[in-house]
A = this chain, B = another copy of it.
Amino acid sequence: MARTATTFDTFNAVAEPKRRKVLEMLSEGELPVNDIVTRLGWPQPVVSKHLGVLKEVGLVSMRKNGRQRVYRLEGEQLKPIHDWAKSFEKSWSERLDRLDEYLQELQKEESDDDSK
């Protein structure tokens, strides 16, 4: 068996750097394909293919406007990734917690000084 298909889920779709770039670009508003092509400077088929993958997993939607196809970000689809990563938050915030405690202790000492 080979690697999990790219179109299988959001995690795979987003693993490709170029696709993340496209999503970032679309986060500022919907865009027709050609705008993405000119802004990013990639060959048009490359852009279309990546948009195809993103559409397949629901990360973008498409609307026809004349002969243009306007793509729009569907950001809710990124929430599962956010939530999954966030579920590990504890493991990177522990250090900050300790820093917090330290700072609180400093403050306490300061107010002790004040009360003198």
Hey, which bits of chain A sit against chain B, CB under 8 A?
3-4, 6, 9, 11-12, 14-17, 20, 23, 27, 73-76, 78-79, 81-82, 84-92, 95
What CA separation (Å) do A95 and B74 show in the bound complex?
Answer: 12
Q: Dominant SS at the A interface?
A: helix
For A85, the chain B residues whose CB sits under 8 A away are 78-79, 81-82, 85
Question: Which of these, B11, B17, B86, B95, contacts A15 with CB under 8 Å?
Answer: B11
For A15, the chain B residues whose CB sits under 8 A away are 4, 11-12, 14-15
A15 CB, nearest partner CB in chain B, Å = 4
For A23, the chain B residues whose CB sits under 8 A away are 88
Question: Which of these, B16, B75, B91, contacts A75 with CB under 8 Å?
Answer: B91
